Structure 1
Amino acid sequence: MGKTYNLKELLKPTSRYGLARVRRQNGAMNNSLALVLAPLVHLGLALACQAQTALPHEVRAVLQTAQVPETSFSALVLPAGGGMPRLAHLEAQPRSPASTMKLVTTLVALEELGPNFRWNTQLWMTSAQSSGTPRGGVLRGTLYLQGGGDPNLTWDSLRGMLRSLRAQGVRHIRGDLVLDRTYFKPARPDLGAPQFDETPAAYYNVIPDALLLNSNMLTLALDSDAQGSSVRVTPDLKGLRVVTEHTLNDTDCKQWDDDTLTVKLEPQSGGKMLLRLGGPYPKNCKSSVGLNVVDRNVYIEQFVRSFWSELGGTWQGKLQDGSTPAEAKLLVARPSDTLGNIVKLINKPSDNAMTRALFMTLGETRKTTPRLEKSSDNAVVVVNEWFDRKGIARSGLVLDNGSGLSRSERISAIEMAGLLQVGLQSNWYPEFAASMPIAGLDGTMRRRFKDSPLVGKIRVKTGTLRDTAAVAGYVRDMQGKDWVVVAFINDDNSKHGRPALDALIEWVARGDLVGK
């Protein structure tokens, strides 16, 4: 079963489907031929070329078993670097991409900002002291912790800043600490945001701000025996006490679902907090879970108080929100990791909070005008303008937060494939490709194709929501030819239909497409 493609669609110079810069690879169109055909494109002449539209029988079989209609499945397979599609099934239909949308955010960010881009978190002060320097180890004035949007502001990052302050001779702080989150607009995107699902405390649901410390997560190390359970909490926050009230059972520890954990945070006198953990839990079990339950200001305040005390210091003052005044003096600056490394931390484990911070950073670094009020709205403009410059049609592209954790984000398979083809030609392709999960080795693909000859031959981003399963990336077949593969399932039974995505990848990897 075939489909007629217009040459303008497939060989458009900016589309990367057959552009003049395409690499010669296993019979793919070479530079000279692309240059010869380019004038025909602009004359609007068309050639009929055949792309298979019927899904491979092994893919259809999985969908049928999972009770997923073929109309809920979109797929596009085409040679990496240029050439005619070998499979095109509902490729123009806008679909929910789930976390494969992170490929859009990370590639655009690499191209717009460069892999050496860094964020800065800074500590400033204002003081009535004429010199603004500590006297006798005492710093009298107001400190400002200014967030720069670092997607990976860790405990160690803030510890390093406090150590630097201590090394300047400061031991006793007599003044308030102001948290400056104003780099992103609004400063607290999480406040008033609608709940995405029934587990708002889960790590994947964290909505970042410009000063998000360790994703505001408490790491709970749970441990049980036949008689009871205990918990160890990281970081050690002053004033936080955690008690376990689990109902122990004989369930296999490996089968425990952390969604069954109940959490209740109770304020106590003197600003202290009591965290109660409950729900069923297996006997003789060890596990770890992260929770976003503590107020962000309290989290930072108690962390600073605890660690500053460890450094032998004292702090008399309170914590508040605000902005850094122009006359403030810089005390400590802490650069982040490079964007080239951050995209790995985003795409391999599929980190939503980091992606959203990167997306808002795109908005704040936007160069065109007029600027919009929200960082995320400016980011949408940046991404749209990038698609336009690259000549990728975007009629099906709908952006929200850039992470795919959204009920509204959409993209078609042909638009995602266009982005992946542009990625191949990018100066930053090595960084982009290195960020993708590798089948059988790491990230969200570490358990897929683990014991097959395909280990290491597949670099794809995965995506999962309750009604979405997706893959997008690069597959090398058994003949050594590289393919761009994009597939989306949007259906209530997508969870059961996910093996169809693996079946499609296996079909491509066998190399049956060469010469067809």
Structure 2
Amino acid sequence: MKKPMKFSLSLLLIFMLAFVPQINPEKPFVQATEEGGALVQELNQLLNNDPDLKGALAGVSVRSAETGELLYDHIGDIRLKPASNMKLLTAAAALSTLGENYKFATELLTDGSVKGVTLQGNLYLKGKGDPTLLKSDFDQFARKIKDLGIGIIHGDLVADDTWYDNIRYSMDLTWNDETYYYGAQVSALTASPNEDYDAGTVIVDVNPGKNTGVEPIVTLEPKTDYVNIINNAKTVAKDGKKSISIERQHGTNNIIIEGTIPLEASRAREWMAVWEPSGYALDLFKQSLLEQGIKLNGKVRTAAAPEGSNVLVSHQSMPLSELLIPFMKLSNNGHAEAIMKEMGKVVKGEGSWDKGLEVLKEELIKLGINTNTLVLRDGSGISHVNLIPANEISKLLFAVQDKEWFESYLTSLPIAGATDRMVGGTLRNRMINSVAQNKVMAKTGSISTVSSLSGYVDTKSGERLIFSIVLNNLVNGSKGKVIEDKIAVILAEQ
């Protein structure tokens, strides 16, 4: 008869521990598998069976806003193109480095002196990155020059855009983007056509002519001679086809209009990016000076103001907390890139993408983000080379909640189904009449084959959840928005 086997207490403990699951606080207790609670089951059912996700990648990360615990993770550690969810990182870094009250400056300087009503010397319009300058601001500059008693400028009118470097496009911007407002050139001196503040653009309106066979009527906002309209279009009969194209020739400010527009048809409208926006801003300022009766006796050109030039007029933009509203609500690419360069200028002494990205990475590290898993190329997300895992986005959204500037950050996010354009932003027409309406505060994102949505949702049970949805390799980007909305509604129903 065999003797019974004896176990020591230490061996017994080792044996028992071998069957205890290891707990990683960064991983959910229930992964994105077929097992799990109702939320996991519902999200899995959607992600695994939606036909529009066949062949696509869906990074989904859900956290508790209170604890940061990862509640759901579907390929959340896989690097994906974030599109404009990149702006969540840019805005957080800007608030951290520049502060809620930071303002962009614009200055009028001279290297000469005033004698009687004549400014003997050049007048420099020096931009320091403000993307919100309007024609009305240049009008105010001109009135202040007039108030100084100046009626004649016996010298040149000069644009100074040297606050930033002279690289106008982020490294991955494509030619088919640069003509339009979302791909406008970034300059330290620029101008916007209206209070959407799409810097470096003009709004082109094409209305039918009064008779068939004649050119349509083209108007610009603001009025400017800086662009050259080449109108090859024709007005046709009421029952004719409306087919108007508005394009700018690369490397020029020739805006070419082709096609047909029927009598009594609604206008065709496009926001067109100008070539070299510094000259555009200077043209608007020149108009303002002439409208105030101030005579110009010199040339119009671009150059740096000499050291020691005297500041005649100084202007400041709205604070960053207010600028975040059009920036984030309307997903303004130009704002993102100007902010990127401004962070580089303020922190590193160089207004460039390279230095701005250095600052961005440093701030993300402070917020606990693993920058070793990120690929960052710009501030807006227009690049197809940016790569960010959904789990890192949700981690960022958790980390920023205890910052003193978080309320400005949260307020800047679009709100689902909120009809006011500067409240709902890019989510104003989404999730209407659902449980998620007014409960989802999130940043949208969209570039070719990519759609994303990341932010916060207040649930039926009174809990706040953090989520990040990053969809890549989509055949139809608009279908991605439908999937995002379904996920957001599922979360709101919890």
TM range, smaller chain = 0.7 to 0.9
Query: What whole-Å deviation, never above 9, does each CA across 1:67-106 have from its counterpart, x for those lacking one?
Result: 4237611000111121432210000011110001101000
Q: Counterpart amino acid of 1:158?
A: F
Match status 1:208 vs 2:156: no
Q: Matched residue of 2:388: which SS? A: coil
> Match of 1:138?
118
Match status 1:221 vs 2:201: no
Question: Of the candidates 222, 227, 248, which is equivalent to residue 235 of structure 1?
Answer: 222
Deviates more, 1:323-332 or 1:287-296: 287-296
Q: Matched residue of 1:498: which SS? A: helix
Larger Rg computed on CA atoms = 2
Q: How does 1:45-84 map to 2 (within 5 A)?
A: 49-53=29-33, 57=42, 61=46, 64=49, 66-69=51-54, 72-84=57-69
Question: Of the candidates 131, 150, 163, which is equivalent to residue 183 of structure 1?
Answer: 163
Cα pair 1:49 1:84 within 8 Å, conserved: no
Cα pair 1:140 1:174 within 8 Å, conserved: yes
Distance 1:250 1:199 in 2: 33
> Match of 2:232?
245
Match status 1:500 vs 2:483: yes
> Match of 1:303?
284
Q: Matched residue of 1:353: which SS? A: helix
Rate the CA distance shift 1:206–1:6 in 2: closer, same or farther, 3 A.
farther
CA drift of 1:429 comes to: 1.1
Identity of aligned residues (%): 24
CA drift of 1:377 comes to: 1.5
Cα pair 2:100 2:405 within 8 Å, conserved: yes
CA drift of 1:147 comes to: 1.2
> Match of 2:446?
464
Q: Matched residue of 1:198: which SS? A: helix
> Match of 2:400?
423
Query: What whole-Å deviation, never above 9, does each CA across 1:389-431 have from its counterpart, x for those lacking one?
Result: 2222222222112110112111111111111011211111110
Distance 2:273 2:375 in 1: 28
Cα pair 2:248 2:254 within 8 Å, conserved: no
Q: Pairwise CA RMSD of aligned residues?
A: 3.0
Q: Counterpart amino acid of 1:485?
A: F
Q: How does 1:264-275 map to 2 (within 5 A)?
A: 275=255
CA drift of 1:183 comes to: 1.4
Match status 1:389 vs 2:376: no
Cα pair 1:66 1:493 within 8 Å, conserved: no
Match status 1:314 vs 2:295: yes
Rate the CA distance shift 1:148–1:293 in 2: closer, same or farther, 3 A.
closer
CA drift of 1:238 comes to: 4.0
Q: Matched residue of 2:70: which SS? A: coil
Rate the CA distance shift 1:378–1:6 in 2: closer, same or farther, 3 A.
farther
Q: How does 1:1-80 map to 2 (within 5 A)?
A: 6-7=23-24, 9=26, 49-53=29-33, 57=42, 61=46, 64=49, 66-69=51-54, 72-80=57-65
Rate the CA distance shift 1:6–1:158 in 2: closer, same or farther, 3 A.
farther
Question: Of the candidates 420, 428, 448, which is equivalent to residue 446 of structure 1?
Answer: 428
Cα pair 1:238 1:306 within 8 Å, conserved: no
Deviates more, 1:437-446 or 1:374-383: 374-383
CA drift of 1:303 comes to: 1.9
Q: Counterpart amino acid of 2:392?
A: E
Q: Counterpart amino acid of 2:179?
A: A
Match status 1:108 vs 2:108: no
Distance 1:398 1:353 in 2: 20
CA drift of 1:143 comes to: 1.5
Q: Counterpart amino acid of 2:318?
A: D
Distance 1:493 1:274 in 2: 34
Distance 1:340 1:474 in 2: 19
Deviates more, 1:101-110 or 1:194-203: 194-203
| Structure 2 portions without partners, runs of 5+ | 1-20, 35-39, 193-198, 419-423
Distance 1:317 1:510 in 2: 67
Q: Counterpart amino acid of 1:9?
A: E
CA drift of 1:221 comes to: 2.3
> Match of 2:127?
147
Rate the CA distance shift 1:266–1:121 in 2: closer, same or farther, 3 A.
closer
CA drift of 1:325 comes to: 2.1
Rate the CA distance shift 1:91–1:494 in 2: closer, same or farther, 3 A.
farther
Q: Matched residue of 2:430: which SS? A: coil
Distance 2:331 2:44 in 1: 25
> Match of 1:489?
471
Deviates more, 1:279-288 or 1:461-470: 279-288
> Match of 2:8?
none
Cα pair 2:173 2:383 within 8 Å, conserved: no
CA drift of 1:343 comes to: 1.1
- Count residues with an aligned counterpart: 453
Distance 1:278 1:315 in 2: 37
Q: Counterpart amino acid of 1:219?
A: I
> Match of 2:37?
none
> Match of 1:400?
377
Cα pair 2:458 2:465 within 8 Å, conserved: yes
Match status 1:169 vs 2:183: no
